[in-house]
Amino acid sequence: MKSDTCFGKMSGEPLSVYFDEEEAQSAAEYSKEIYNNELSPYKCNKCDFWHLSPKSRLTPSEKCQRCTAGDGSYKDTYRTNKEANTRADIIFNEQGINLRIYKCKYSAGWHLTKSHY
């Protein structure tokens, strides 16, 4: 199924819509098998369904040992300011959420936070 609300930033084409993570995950595996195209599912904040995003655009992150997000889970840590920025851009493009970058107080990494300024 194609989305009528969400479009690829680069292609301008409607994104494929999946109803849950499992469905998105199996589509990602299919794509890898057939096209050798690595995709990762993500939940869309705009339409509340799932889409796939090319893995090459994902930025590697680890969980922080100290900092927690609003929901109590540990925050993702990006290795550099630049990677955190890339991630923030992707989230903004795909989900319309504006994130601010800040340096972790406890490690060498960087975190993202929802800005409310």
Q: Does 27 bind Zn ion (CB under 5 A)?
A: no
d(CA 116, CA 32): 39
Closest approach, Cβ 82 to Zn ion, in A, equals 18
Two structure tokens written together for 38: 């690595």
Do residues 92 and 80 lie in contact, with contact meaning Cβ atoms separated by under 8 Å? no
Q: Which amino acid is at 77?
A: T
Binding residue count for Zn ion, defined by CB under 5 A: 7
Which 85-114 residues touch Zn ion, going by CB under 5 A?
104
Which residue in the set 46, 53, 58, 83 belongs to the binding site for Zn ion (CB under 5 A)?
46
Three-state secondary structure call for residue 77: strand
Residues interacting with Zn ion, by CB under 5 A? 6, 44, 46-47, 64, 67, 104
